[in-house]
Structure 1
Amino acid sequence: MAELAALEVPGVREANRKRGDDHGVNLAALRAVARRLKTQQDLARDLWSTGDTAARLLALLISRPAAFEASELDAMLRQGREPKVHDWLVNYVVKKSPHAEQLRLAWTADPDPVVASAGWALTTERVAKKPVGLDLPALLSTIEAEMSDAPDRLQWAMNHTLAQIGIDHPEHRDRAIAIGERLGVLKDYPTPPNCTSPYAPAWIKEIVSRRSGA
């Protein structure tokens, strides 16, 4: 914990606070610590139990995803609500867990929008990598009905699923674009030059164009 405290960089905590995070750690330095420690599941659990955001981020980097039970991952998601912790937990641990599909189904239907957003993030992963068995038209219908009024984090996750369907599944591309145009979610999101807009119709068209070499 003392080593993690020493990694804090002046000004970073305030910048992160504006994004909903509560740490001031240099993440490149944090990753270097993780590389030195390598996988240590018991230490990961101890670090997570401190409740400290930097410690939890390090815990996720040195944990063994398959070692967590589904109930443990569910509890961790509900505890670690800071955006960076949430993102790393889902992407570095849950997606690699044998319980990912079980949690995807449970979380997508959860009334807590932060938990539901994790379910939609896992759904996006399946749309891209393991779409067999997914009801893509039903997903599009749910997005069409619910995305506009969803809280920010959930809306962002649903929008990602919408874009991924349009990008990876040509048979649903026109409908995905039409839904995005009708809802207008993130249409005016400020996007830096040379970056892809998160507005689904623009996002879909840009990635499809790149893949086709146009």
Structure 2
Amino acid sequence: MTDTAAGFTLDTVLAALAALEDPKMRAVNERHGDDHGVNLSRLRALAKRIKIDPALARELWATGETAPRLLSLLICRPRDFDADELDRMLREPSAPKVNDWFVNYLAKKSPLAEELRLRWFDDPDPTVAAAAWSLTTERVVKQRDGLDLEALLDQIERELQSAPPPLQWAMNETLAQIGIHEPALRERAIDIGERLQVLADYPTPPGCTSPFAPIWITEIVRRREG
């Protein structure tokens, strides 16, 4: 058990998480496949108290439990993990929220992000392939140079409609971001979305942008150019 500079140990942190457990919150989360009952705002507040603590982060991840793993991802240091370790972590069974935070808070912030993107692309595990597409979306938005966007659209056109849900969602996001950020390919991206109709019927709350790529692209471009 590691003693942290702020006085937190694995036992004290697990006790703090247990105190945050709310049966009503668990019921809500379980409808989305997340087996924990901790309010995420309170989880973030606990992470701020702990601050960055790589050793404790590893101990929390090793519990295999959802709430500790979420906290682990908030207090870890991405550069401390090598590619094989990150690959192993991604392949471990985890709740959807853990997977989402792993990709966004750890993989995307790792100095090995591009190595991981190439390693995971076209992996037979849809969760792993989805992570690669999320990293691809990050490059589309921030650093498109060197990406073959036409080839990405070709693959999306072939595979999006039949992809399993996590992978489909990630590929659809890449499609939308190519349309948003690359004017020369915008018409093609919208056309692919219109023909495939992926997420066309997705229920979208008032005031939110639909994940249906043609609507998503058109709305964001309108806002930017308006």
Shorter-chain-normalised TM-score: which range? Answer: over 0.9
Query: In structure 2, which of residues 154, 160, 180 is the aligned counterpart of residue 141 of structure 1?
Result: 154
Matched, 1:11 2:24: yes
Which of 134, 138, 144 lines up with 1:121 in the alignment? 134
Is the contact between residue 163 and residue 204 of structure 1 (CA under 8 Å) also seen in structure 2?
Answer: yes
Shift of 1:10: 2.3
Please give the secondary structure, in 2, of the residue aligned with 1:96: coil
2:196 matches 1:183: yes
- Paired with 2:94 and 2:19, the residues of 1 have a C-alpha distance of 24
C-alpha contact (below 8 Å) 2:86/2:107 kept by paired residues:
yes
Aligned to 1:27: 40
**Structure 1: how far apart are the matches of 2:33 and 2:139?**
27
How many Å separate the matches in 2 of 1:178 and 1:207? 16
Percent of residue pairs bearing the same amino acid type:
65
Match of 1:87 among 100, 119, 135: 100
Kindly provide the amino acid, as one letter, of the partner of residue 64 in structure 1. R
Say whether 1:100 aligns with 2:145: no
Q: After TM superposition, which residue ranges in structure 1, 4 or more long, deviate above 6 angstroms?
A: none
Name the CA distance, whole Å, in 2 between partners of 1:15 and 1:79.
24
Aligned partner (choices 75, 95, 98) of residue 62 of structure 1: 75
AA of the residue aligned to 1:166: G
Matched, 1:205 2:211: no
Distance (whole Å) between structure 1 residues aligned to residue 16 and residue 36 of structure 2? 14
Shift, 1:176, TM fit: 0.2
Matched, 1:158 2:171: yes
Name 1:71's counterpart in structure 2. Answer: 84
* Structure 1 residue 80: Cα displacement: 4.6
Letter paired with 1:134:
L
Q: Single out whichever of 134-143 and 71-80 deviates more from structure 2.
A: 71-80
TM normalised by structure 2 equals 0.93
Aligned-residue CA RMSD (Å) = 0.8
Aligned residues: 213
